[in-house]
Amino acid sequence: MALSAAEISRVLQEIAPAILGGTVRKIFQPAEDVITLEIHKRRRTVLLLLSADPDMGRIHLLSRRPLNPPGPPDFCQFLRARLEGGRLVGLEQWCGDRIVGLRIAGQEGPLLLIGEFLLDAQDKILRVLKPQAAKALPLHHSYTPPLGGPWITIGHPEPEAPLDPHAFPISEEMERRYAQQETERAQAMLQRHRLRELQKAIKKTTRRLEGLTGDLTKVARYREYGRYGELLKGHLHTIAKGQDRIAVVDYFEAGLPEIVLPLDPAKDTHGNMQDYFRKYRKHLAAEGQIRPRLEAAEQELQALVAERRQLERGEWQPVTPDGPGAPRTKLRPLIPSATRREGKAPGSFRRFISADGLPILVGRNARENEQLTFGLARSHDLWFHARGVPGSHVVLRIEKDAAAPQESIRDAGTLALLYSNLRKSGKGEVMYARRSDVRKIKGKSPGTVSVTQDRSLFVDLDHARLRRLKDSPGSVSRPSY
């Protein structure tokens, strides 16, 4: 359930001293209808959550940063361009309602962030969080709050906010409450999604079973054709040209019955015999190839039906793709399609540990390079690339305001050279810079960047260094050389 107007008022009174007068450092959009603001004030940074979720709309401080997509959505990018670096000068609530406004003074003057809307100084809508809301409230039209009001100003900037990390008990309670609700809702969504995918997989496997069964049925009539070919082999001299059938004694059956074998009058005796043997071989091949596939499909269908039954009884647990009993049918990922469109989640990069224990991440292709540099790397991390040639983006993760050790810099530079077109030469120049000095080039292909304030490092491919990186704990990709 979303917060009531009274609960929101209490939260605002609690958090106002910590955020009013602060600077908006970073903006994220971890979910479709959720925005988080990093607000820095007097040696401390707090994380403010704004949710426009219909069922869980709320505002409070967070103790930890939620997971964010690899790339910022459009609304988040728009907010970053206009609000990051701005100062939070006002906190307001529409009287008797759950509407909260944050007045932020940025480069374009004072702007008002109200849940899912960003307004200019004249209260005209600049951008909306959800595209469907733009149909009811078009851009550049004036925003009109509901009946009631007026705006109530919450608190005033204080010279110093309390530094006690437990100074926000209401926010802590809200975070705990909604964390449980979000977990339950995510589990329910996961189950609904899996049930839909199971239904599709069951239909697909059933159709496959029907097709395999039909194929076996078609060739089952050739089961005795090997015997018929052998019987025909003993009567080749008795078959006249143009004959369409022949009666033979079946020496393979007790009682020696007489059977009639159909013939193709357009073929000679050897052609008819070979036809029988060819169709018998077709039956044997089908039994050897289709029968195992049919049995595997039957087992797969049983596993899918059993998993659906567990879901319906509330006993379901996710099936590990490589685990025992996992179905062969590939089910789609358990994340919403909108999240999938953002790209692969971080984790597929090559990973190494430097001599000083610092993580080093290496992109595998152009799209991963872009995700690594602009989705995962922090502004204070170091970015590496072989100078003047195509290659992987390499990121050395370091603590903020900390100097990177020289051995770690050389480790990252060596990997940048290894995963570049300079690899065959065994040596070359690598440039590196703070991630904040790396920019995308508009209109260019993924991974194409421009770099300012870079430094140079001349690197030789040291095999001992590469072996150490290969054997480092937590390394994922093994460098070959």
Q: Is 103 helix (H, G, I), strand (E, B) or coil?
A: strand
CATH topology of domain 5-167: ibrinogen binding protein from staphylococcus aureus fold (2.30.310)
Euclidean distance between CA atoms 237 and 203, whole angstroms: 54
- Of residues 473 and 419, more confidence is placed in 419
197: helix, coil or strand?
Answer: helix
Q: Which residues pair with 111 in a beta bridge?
A: 104
Cα–Cα distance, 366 to 385 (Å, whole number): 13
Query: Closest Cα to residue 429, out of 464, 395, 454?
Result: 454
Contact by Cβ (8 Å): 232, 246: yes
pLDDT classification of 157: cutoffs 50, 70, 90: low
481 pLDDT above the threshold of 60: no
The answer to whether the CB of 382 falls within 8 A of the CB of 409 is yes
Q: Count the neighbouring beta carbons within 10 Å of the beta carbon of residue 286.
A: 18
The residues of the chain that CATH labels 1.10.287 are: 185-313
Where in the chain are all domains bearing CATH 2.30.310.10? 5-167
pLDDT-based confidence at 409, cuts 50/70/90? very high
| pLDDT band with cut points at 50, 70 and 90 for residue 135 | low
Is pLDDT above 80 for 79? yes
**Comparison of pLDDT for 446 and 338, the residue scoring more:** 446
The packing angle between helices 269-313 and 169-220, to 10°, is: 160
The residues, any chain, with a CB within 8 Å of residue 107's CB and separated by 6 or more, are 82, 85, 86
Q: How far is CA 266 from the centre of its chain?
A: 62
CATH number of 185-313: 1.10.287
Q: pLDDT tens for residues 305-334?
A: 988 888 888 877 655 444 444 444 444 443
Report residue 96's pLDDT band, with 50, 70 and 90 as the boundaries: confident
